[in-house]
Amino acid sequence: MPGSPDLAAHTRKSGNHWILYVLIAFFGGLLTFAGARAQQRATDDATFRKLIDGYCAAWSTGDPNNAAKYYAKEDALVFYDLAPFSYSGWKQYDVGVRKELLDQMQSGSLTAGKELKVTRHGNIAWTTVPMRFSAKMKDGKTIDTPVRYTGIWEKKGKTWVLVHEHLSAPLGG
């Protein structure tokens, strides 16, 4: 019956339920998104921890062939290393690091610290982690220095590869 207070009150009460349903759906979606993002971050951290540890183990062998699988092979890519300064593409990096460092080393190790930071946007990720480089040189000298590491990774197919990296030692380090 038009104008009936009971009908008007019931309509107002029923009409407000949709707001509650929308809010529940919104917050449910928000929680799902936050949970999925946290799960993705944990997966990324584990994935890149494994990659970084493998990268360090590969370089610690003193053979760039073991590290090659971590690098994209395009010639225009730039990699900043500790010595001499930079390389354009993996081919130049491979030859240069052998000549400038590895041929003078008797043994060496590269180890990553625990403070790995991973930021990912789709198929691109960047990692930062403090490292330590230690080496015994053929001339009897030793090297033991902290290293700052930044790697830019691209996912190609199912594999993450470095498309840029920057290693540097602090002054006096």
HSE-up of 129 (CA within 13 Å, CB side)?
27
Q: Where are the domains of the chain?
A: 5-168
Q: Which fold has domain 5-168?
A: Nuclear Transport Factor 2; Chain: A, (3.10.450)
What is the residue whose two structure tokens read 């030859």?
Answer: 95
At 167, the pLDDT band (50, 70, 90 cuts) reads: very high
HSE-up of 46 (CA within 13 Å, CB side)?
6
Model confidence pLDDT, tens digit, residues 17-72: 667 666 666 555 555 654 545 455 658 899 999 999 999 999 999 999 999 999 99
> Would the CA dihedral through 132, 129, 50, 122 be positive or negative?
negative
Q: Please classify residue 90 by burial: count the beta carbons closer than 10 Å to its beta carbon, then call 0-12 exposed, 13-18 middle and 19+ buried.
A: buried
Query: Is the separation of the CB atoms in 97 and 64 below 8 Å?
Result: yes
Q: Which parts of the chain fold into alpha helices (H)?
A: 5-60, 64-67, 89-100
pTM, 2 dp? 0.76
Give mean pLDDT, residues 121-135.
97
Distance CA 97, CA 32 (A): 47
Give mean pLDDT, residues 74-85.
89
Which range is least confidently modeled, 2-6, 149-153, 162-166? 2-6
Query: Is the separation of the CB atoms in 127 and 116 below 8 Å?
Result: yes
